[in-house]
Structure 1
Amino acid sequence: METLQKQTLYACGCCKQTLPSDAFYVDKRTGLPGNYCKECRKSASRKHRKAEKRTLVREDREPYPVITSTKDPELRRKLILSALQTVRASIKQKKQKLCEVETELDD
């Protein structure tokens, strides 16, 4: 056990360099340095995030039409009316819920 505490150089499992213990992140559970150095861990995390972003972006879907960027006046009018209808339905539903809650409280 004493040899683990005295050893200050560790080999990175990725780049195979021998580095001091402060070049590694420490595992909270074991208290020992991880297998990869900080630089290799950062680059692996960046690659993973980029790959994850690519999978989240779906190109097979049509882009949602934005009212303000629509040039066609007829399409813009339809989009505005649809948005108004959605908002009115939402307000009506919220009012109904509020009335139900008030009647429950009165009882």
Structure 2
Amino acid sequence: MAPLTASSCAAPEQTVELPEGTNTTDQAVVQGRVLADAAPVGGAFVRLLDATGEFTAEVVSSPEGVFRFYTAPGTWTVRALSRAGSGQADLAVTTGVFEVDVPVAR
């Protein structure tokens, strides 16, 4: 077995395009950008919370402010925390791809 490295334990790279072969027929993909005054915010901590407000997952936004989560259908909150401020967006998803931008402010 190969030793674990920081790169092997890291979250997948956050890009605008879905990875080839992503199945959206039985899962939801929640993706978008973190924005401050319409400018992308890279390095934001983006958290996915379930319908009860329970923490589910976290990723760091790309330099372009992009984030992505793979989820089950349901009601979710996407919360972003950054040096530019914080913000959140609530959404209900079924299967497929759902785009949501999260504006942040102080």
TM-score under structure 1 normalisation?
A: 0.22
Which has the larger helix fraction? 1
TM-score under structure 2 normalisation?
A: 0.22
Q: Which has the larger radius of gyration?
A: 1
